[in-house]
Amino acid sequence: MAEPLVTFEQDGVIGVVTLRRPEKFNALDIPMLRALETALDTAEAASDVRVVLLRGEGKGFCAGGDVEAWAQMGAADFQVQWVRYGHRVFDRLARLRQPTIAVLSGHALGGGLELAVACDFRVAEAHVKLGFPETSIGVVPGWSGTQRAVRRFGAQTVRRMALGGEVFPAPEALALGVVDRVVETGSGLAEAKAWAEKIAERGPLATEAAKLMIAVAEGEDSAAATEALASGFIALTDDLKAGVGAFKAKQKPAFSRS
């Protein structure tokens, strides 16, 4: 039986999603994206998980999209199967209900950096480098590198990576706000877990609501976030109970606005 490409494990209130293709530095292909989507669904369904970590097995975090996987695709398949599906999976990560921390124990380049950007926070080990090198091989960032990354880090920083080809070492990425913490090599996972435990001490519902409100401000799926907040509020009211009860009894509801 083949080893899973992406796994989800629970450690108390912390969930850990691990990319498991170390021989390719966890480069993403379609099977990897499918496995990642499944792992994220599992993480969100774990009601007692309050923070989710995303890490890569081996020496790399994620080398980005597997060039060998997409280079053989025709234009139509490249657009739909690769770019659009990749966007869907990365959006799934960005909209996870729990706060997320990317553990960068290896370089995060191209799609790997886009994956890290979809997380709420990024912990980078000191040796790590980050950038968008796609234009060097004649393609462009396709999984939100010119959209979500610009919203989060500013257009000029993304220009320096995507147009100028700059690759930032972790300390410079920290100064630019691309990562949130830089730690010694080998200590990224421990730092991320300690940070996650601090986050998990906070009110879980308030934390999830705050994440949704920040998503609205960022333009990250504003419609769904607004409806989720409103629906969660309504679910706590007596009016909902009255309405559902009347529907079941085939009667007219007596709303109390409470």
Give the catalytic positions in this structure: 114, 134
SS (H, E, C) the chain: CCCCCEEEEEECCEEEEEECCHHHCCCECHHHHHHHHHHHHHHHHCCCCCEEEEEECCCCCECCECHHHHCCCCHHHHHHHHHHHHHHHHHHHHCCCCCEEEEECCCEECHHHHHHHCCCEEEEECCCEEECCHHHHCCCCCCCCCCHHHHHHCHHHHHHHHCCCCCEEHHHHHHCCCCCEEECCCCHHHHHHHHHHHHHCCCHHHHHHHHHHHHHHHCCCHHHHHHHHHHHHHCCCHHHHHHHHHHHHCCCCCCCCC
